[in-house]
A and B are shown apart, each in its own frame.
Chain A
Amino acid sequence: DAGVTQSPTHLIKTRGQQVTLRCSPISGHKSVSWYQQVLGQGPQFIFQYYEKEERGRGNFPDRFSARQFPNYSSELNVNALLLGDSALYLCASSLRGEKLFFGSGTQLSVL
């Protein structure tokens, strides 16, 4: 079985640009969550989607947005990038939001 897949694996952007990260959940999983992991820290919750509806939003600015598609894949968008947005962005899928299985992440560098 394929696990959670994320693309791209690495991304370099400059301040002010916009970025879109993509995630495909494990087959049969209807919940997708996004986390930001800064080096040396634990993952921080950004969003959760279940059945295409937003079920939770973490303490992140409105520059961060996400959506889930009918096939349960998801996109995370970040506008007006700041240097502080540099991090590993992890997508996780689960059946209902509890037992999370993470993808390998997208490493975003903002210069």
Chain B
Amino acid sequence: GENVEQHPSTLSVQEGDSAVIKCTYSDSASNYFPWYKQELGKRPQLIIDIRSNVGEKKDQRIAVTLNKTAKHFSLHITETQPEDSAVYFCASLGDGNNRLAFGKGNQVVVIP
């Protein structure tokens, strides 16, 4: 089955700096890649997603880039704010598949 790995497991950044989280996936047939944000004790919330026919997507301070050749995709958060502190999960969905495979998550801590 699909294997998704996230790096680093924990990331601390100063408020206002950028944060980058990278995910790798194993199934070359994967074609949909979402990112979820989960605050402590809350539900995972979809923050951005990208399909395999697109290389980059932006939404305000958040962007996702996809490198299909290397089978990795990254989440970029610019001008980080304390409310960005959370666990971020990447996931992938294979073509014809019906289940998201999630990574183990990255703890992002924004230091005021």
Contact = CB atoms under 8 A, between A and B. Distances in A.
A19 B12 CA distance: 39
B54 interface: no
Interface in A17-68: 33, 35, 40-45, 48, 50, 55-56, 58-59
B19 interface: no
Contact of A99 (B4, B49, B105): B49
Given A98-B93, A99-B34, A100-B34, A43 B102 contact: yes
A87 B35 CA distance: 22
B99 A48 contact: yes
A43 B102 CA distance: 6
Interface in B29-48: 32, 34, 36, 42-46
A109 to B, nearest CB: 15
Instruction: State the majority secondary structure of interface residues on A.
Output: loop
B104 A41 contact: yes
Interface in B88-105: 89, 91, 93, 97-105
B10 to A, nearest CB: 12
Of the candidates A44, A59, A98, A105, the one having the most CB atoms from chain B within 10 angstroms of its own CB is A98
Contacts of B34: 99-100
Given A41-B105, A45-B100, A45-B101, 6 more contacts: A43-B89, A43-B102, A56-B97, A56-B98, A58-B99, A99-B34
Interface of B: 1, 4, 32, 34, 36, 42-46, 49, 89, 91, 93, 97-105
Interface of A: 33, 35, 40-45, 48, 50, 55-56, 58-59, 90, 97-105
26 contacts: A35-B102, A40-B105, A42-B4, A42-B91, A42-B102, A42-B103, A42-B104, A42-B105, A43-B89, A43-B100, A45-B100, A48-B99, A50-B98, A58-B99, A59-B1, A90-B44, A98-B32, A99-B34, A99-B49, A100-B34, A100-B46, A100-B100, A102-B44, A104-B42, A104-B43, A105-B43
